Amino acid sequence: MRTLIAAIDQGTTSTRCIVYDQAFGKLATAQREHAQRTPRPGWVEHDADEIRRNTERVVADALRDAEVRPGELAGVGITNQRETFVLWDRATGDPVAPAIVWQDARSQDLCDELRRDARAGELAARTGLPISTYFSGPKLAWLLRERPDVTARARAGELAFGTMETWLIWNLTGGPDGGAHVSDLSNACRTFLVDLATGDWDDELLAWMDVPRALLPRIVPCGEPGGYGTTRADGPFGAQVPVCGAIGDQQAALVGQRCFEPGDAKNTYGTGCFLLYHTGEERVASRSGMLTTVAYQLPGESPRYALEGSVAVAGSLIQWLRDQLRMIDTAPEVEQLAATVEDNGDVYLVPAFSGLYAPHWRPDARGVICGLTHHSNRGHIARAAIESTAFQVREVLDAMHADTGARLRTLRVDGGMAANDALLRFQADLLGVPVERGVDLESTALGAATVAGLAQGVLPAPKTLRANRRTERSFEPSMDAASVERRMRGWRKAVERSLDWAAAD
């Protein structure tokens, strides 16, 4: 009989299920997109029930394609878009409102209010995070404030809060019928409600944001031998399988890239772009706009931490060129279009669609395209779009260097947009270090499978996994320093132009 692991990757745009064998060979993949609802500027919502149904379908499809037989699955690992949350009725399992997505900026006024509080600095420092609409706490506070009916039911203990791994684990393990209500530490630490020093919900933070404790799940490690719960035999798994791994998508990519040692770093180019730098058992506070975050907590071990540079818009800019401007039909075509011009023609695009995240944290920024002339064409805009991601990563890496004093020798990369050679070539030029693309770009799902497999004891130790990691291709820097500096100056000017746009007037 085979020993298999199923990973569920509940992302911002789609949900995937991948079935792996013990050597991380992929036996089957199934994927479904869900609707992105933007009812007002700055708002982004998902239907949590649609996500639950999509999850059930991709699981059933992947298990069928891999011809999984009862007893072959050692466990299930879940990874997810972080910070997105839903509130649901514990008795019926029905969501009481749409899921509010990490990109959603509706809690801006509330964040401004929090920032004016005399205790703001001290309280925010506990979380390792800046006060921002990005995190679930202010979003949840907005919902509770907006909906007194929901708040009353929340206080009465009738409702449950969950980020997407919590929502899926609860549903897969029984829902109203005894479903496990848990959140893993790597997800929980992104709510703005957890004290990083204790790894638990913090009463003062909860009081600050008026969040009733009765809503909250139990915080658990990223892997649990035997599982947080088991799937129901009448559900999509068709058997009782331990749900034994849960980890936020960017931390999952860190694990998938086998970054298990302090000093290891990876960058994932997906919807957004997220660089994580492993700092071991030490929580390094940033002075440069990085987040301090839990990297992972393996069973029986203390948490490991990371510094994170979060960039809100990367691959989603390419989707925007495709869907809103209709400049391309598919995302990979952006590379051909960009190749029709020799350089960016001095055009810069700053995709500050929901403000700028790391390292600037400027909610008042909005997108700009600068430097247009009669000479500019679609190719230049495509080029500027690709380059904008590389510029943002360079700024994040500069901030990371300032915080750690360490210089990366190489950058390991993954994610859907890492398929773009032009991006990685330019990235290597801007960083001045080789950019290494792994063999499997889906590090996120790989990380989820890994924490589940480690929990069940069916994998080699992390240090062995790390020793076995492989690079598909390395992109070497080739641009001279003066050219790099000229481009960075152009980028910084463009960022200046994007600021102070959405300020209230």
Ligand X SMILES: Nc1ncnc2c1ncn2[C@@H]1O[C@H](COP(=O)(O)OP(=O)(O)OP(=O)(O)O)[C@@H](O)[C@H]1O
Site residues (vs Mg ion, CB under 5 A): 11, 249, 270, 444
Q: Which residue is nearest to Mg ion (CB)?
A: 11
- Nearer CB in complex with ligand X: 15/404: 15
Instruction: Considering only CA atoms, give the Rg of the chain.
Output: 22
Between the alpha carbon of residue 414 and those of residues 13, 85, 274, the distances in Å are: 17, 25, 10
Which segment (257-265, 283-291, 363-371, 415-423) binds ligand X by CB under 6 A? 415-423
**Interaction between residue 447 and ligand X (CB under 6 A):** no
Instruction: Specify the stretch interacting with ligand X by CB under 6 A; choose among 37-45, 108-116, 138-146, 312-320.
Output: 312-320
Q: Name the residue among 300, 176, 162 with its Cα closest to residue 218.
A: 162
**What pairs with residue 218 in β-bridges?**
182
State the binding partner of 29 from ligand X, Mg ion, none, CB within 5 to 8 A by kind: none
Alpha-carbon distance of 42 to 24, in angstroms, equals 39
Q: Which does residue 410 touch among ligand X, Mg ion, none (CB within 5 to 8 A, set by kind)?
A: none
Instruction: Tell which one of 127, 187, 279, 316 touches ligand X (CB under 6 A).
Output: 316
Q: Per CB under 6 A, which region of 97-105, 208-216, 311-319, 363-371 contacts ligand X?
A: 311-319
Q: Is 480 exposed, middle or buried (0-12, 13-18, 19+ CB in 10 A)?
A: exposed
The Cα-based distances of 398 to 257, 394, 407 in angstroms read 22, 6, 9
* The only residue of 11, 130, 242, 351 in contact with ligand X, by rule CB under 6 A: 11
Q: Which does 334 bind (CB under 5 to 8 A by kind): Mg ion, ligand X, none?
A: ligand X
Q: Which two tokens stand for residue 394?
A: 């360079």
Contacts of 53 (CB under 8 A, 6+ apart): none
Q: Among 342, 277, 353, 338, which residue's Cα sits nearest to residue 309? A: 277
Based on CB atoms, which residue is closest to ligand X, 103 or 151?
Answer: 103
- What is the per-residue DSSP string for 230-251? E--TTSTTSS--EEEEEEEHHH
Site for ligand X contains 256 (CB under 6 A):
no
d(CA 502, CA 327): 26
Contact partner at residue 316 from Mg ion, ligand X, none, CB < 5 to 8 Å by partner kind: ligand X
Question: Are the C-beta atoms of 322 and 328 separated by less than 8 Å?
Answer: yes
Residue 318 interacting with ligand X (CB under 6 A): yes
Tell me if 162 contacts ligand X by CB under 6 A: no
State the Cα–Cα distance between residues 145 and 370, nearest whole angstrom: 39
Residue nearer to Mg ion on the CB measure, 286 or 444 = 444
Q: 184 vs 202, which CB is nearer to Mg ion?
A: 184
How many other C-beta atoms can be found within 10 angstroms of the C-beta atom of residue 74?
A: 22
Shortest reach from residue 112's CB to ligand X, in Å: 28
Contact range with ligand X by CB under 6 A, out of 313-321, 374-382, 472-480, 495-503: 313-321
Least spacing, CB of residue 270 vs ligand X, in Å: 2
Site for ligand X in 62-91 (CB under 6 A): 81
Cβ-based nearer residue to ligand X, 130 or 416: 416
- Which residue from 315, 351, 438, 447 is in contact with ligand X, where contact means CB under 6 A? 315
- Shortest Å distance, C-beta 11 to Mg ion: 4
In angstroms, give the least distance from the CB of 415 to Mg ion: 7
Residue 226 found at the interface with ligand X (CB under 6 A)? no
Among 289, 416, 462, 477, binds ligand X (CB under 6 A): 416
Min CB(423)–ligand X separation in Å: 7
Q: Is 395 in the site for ligand X (CB under 6 A)?
A: no
Residue 73: CA count within 13 A, CB half-sphere:
31
Structure tokens at 216: 């909250």
Distance from C-alpha of 350 to C-alpha of 313, rounded to nearest angstrom = 9
Q: Which stretch binds ligand X (CB under 6 A): 144-152, 315-323, 475-483, 497-505?
A: 315-323
Contact 335, 341 (CB under 8 A): no
Return the residue of 12, 257, 293, 297 that touches ligand X, per CB under 6 A: 12
Which residue shows structure tokens 């890496």?
397
Transcribe 312-373 into DSSP letters. S-SHHHHHHHHHTS---SSTTHHHHHHTTSSS-TT-EEE--BTBB-TTT-BTT---EEE---
CA distance 97 to 1: 44
| Count of residues of this chain found to bind ligand X when the rule CB under 6 A is applied | 20
In angstroms, the CA 84 to CA 165 distance is 10
The smaller minimum CB distance to ligand X, of residues 420 and 498, is found at 420
Binding mask 109-148 for ligand X (x = CB under 6 A): ----------------------------------------
Instruction: Give the one residue of 196, 215, 334, 430 binding ligand X; rule: CB under 6 A.
Output: 334
Ramachandran class of 432: left when φ > 0, alpha when ψ lies in -120 to 50, beta otherwise:
left
Identify the residue among 3, 22, 36, 319 touching ligand X (CB under 6 A): 319
What SS3 class is residue 175? coil
Shortest distance in whole angstroms from residue 330 CB to Mg ion: 18
Name the site residues for ligand X (rule: CB under 6 A). 11-14, 81, 270-271, 315-316, 318-319, 331-332, 334-335, 415-417, 419-420
